[in-house]
Amino acid sequence: MSLNRIEQAVYDYVKCHPEERQYIQDKVRMFVAGAHDTHVVVARIDAELWYYYRERSAVVPVLKEAARTYGMHRTSMKNLAELLIRLWTEPKHKKPAPQGT
């Protein structure tokens, strides 16, 4: 999976900071637990990650540098959202199709 530069900066930062990682993990797991539509979950996590990036780029040097370099125009966090769902949640098993009698 390919991440854009801002997604990669957020992912690298979260990987190296356990408290931040736990915060994001809790958000991802909460969104996944209560949802039935994967597309809706990805969109919610995407929005949450963008909010997180905007907030943290004001104070975290590496994210501040990313914001300075790449700007603060809205960037998709969809690939990162999908990656975090795969990494941090259990796969949902599809119900088997009913057998004909």
Please determine, for residue 13, whether its predicted confidence score (pLDDT) is greater than 60.
yes
Helices 5-16, 18-33: crossing angle, 10 deg rounding = 110
Rounded CA gap, 24 and 14, in Å? 8
Distance CA 80, CA 46 (A): 8
- The pLDDT value recorded for residue 92 is 65
Give tens-digit pLDDT for 83-95: 999 999 987 666 6
Locate tokens 């991802």: which residue?
28
Query: Model confidence over 28-80: pLDDT tens digits?
Result: 999 999 788 999 999 999 999 999 999 999 999 999 999 999 989 999 999 99
pTM for the structure as a whole: 0.85
Name the DSSP class of 58. T
Residue boundaries of the structural domains of the chain: 5-88
**Other residues' Cβ atoms within 10 Å of the Cβ of residue 41:** 20
User: How far from 87 is each of 54, 65, 90, 101, CA to CA, in Å?
Assistant: 23, 27, 8, 39
Rounded CA-CA distance 74/101 in Å is 53
